[in-house]
């Protein structure tokens, strides 16, 4: 079942009628050619999943909404960003595996230093990976940190001694 991003899913209840944002609606109706009665999955990236039915007026009627508990173990991924294509692949696969937090590390010989534009694009990529895998949680993508700060952060947040 195809899944789509709907940021306000947590406040929806069964029977509510919603509209997807432009890009999600375009994908649903123009690319997948959804028809009346088709069932689609919804997620918000914050632990809420749901199902909805396509209506005749190209809207969605919520069937059910459920909150998913975050796994007890939280995986933190610290990495020196490789070139863009490889970084995209790492972000995608880390999200599909359920990584809780991704921390880029600034290294002396780093090939790429992430900027704000790439962070926005990467957030979209993370949502796509959530939709593909059914992961209810969008990983936290931190601002890049220096190596020494990343080590301190790992000790503090991951309980390393």
User: Which CATH superfamily is 3-67 part of?
Assistant: Hypothetical PUA domain-like; domain 1 (2.40.240.20)
Under CATH, which architecture does the 76-158 domain have?
Answer: 3-Layer(aba) Sandwich (3.40)
| Strand order across the beta sheet in which 60-67 lies | 3-5, 39-43, 48-54, 60-67, 17-18
Query: What pTM does this model have?
Result: 0.83
Per-domain residue ranges of the chain: 3-67, 76-158
| Alpha-carbon torsion, ordered 40, 26, 55, 20, to 10 deg | 70
DSSP-assigned beta bridge partners for residue 77: 102
Q: Which of 114, 110, 74 is nearest to 94 (CA)?
A: 74
Mean pLDDT by runs of 10 across the 161 residues of the chain is 95 96 95 96 96 96 96 92 87 95 86 68 92 94 91 84 63
The Cα–Cα gap between 19 and 2 comes to 16
Same fold, 3-67 and 76-158: no
């Amino acid at each position: 079942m195809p899944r789509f991003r709907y940021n306000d899913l947590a406040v929806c209840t069964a029977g509510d009628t919603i509209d997807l944002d432009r890009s999600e609606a375009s994908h649903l109706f123009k690319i997948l050619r959804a028809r009346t009665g088709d069932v689609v999955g919804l997620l918000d990236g914050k632990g809420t999943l749901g199902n909805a039915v396509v209506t005749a007026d190209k809207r969605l009627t919520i069937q059910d909404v459920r909150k998913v508990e975050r796994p007890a173990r939280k995986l933190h991924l610290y990495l020196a960003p490789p070139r863009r294509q490889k970084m995209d692949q790492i972000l995608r696969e880390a999200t599909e595996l359920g990584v809780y937090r991704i921390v880029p590390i600034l290294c002396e010989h780093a090939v790429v230093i992430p900027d704000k534009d790439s962070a926005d694009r990467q957030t979209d990529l993370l949502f796509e990976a959530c939709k593909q895998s059914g992961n209810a949680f969008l990983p936290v993508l931190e601002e890049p940190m220096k190596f020494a700060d990343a080590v301190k952060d790992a000790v503090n947040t991951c309980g390393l001694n």
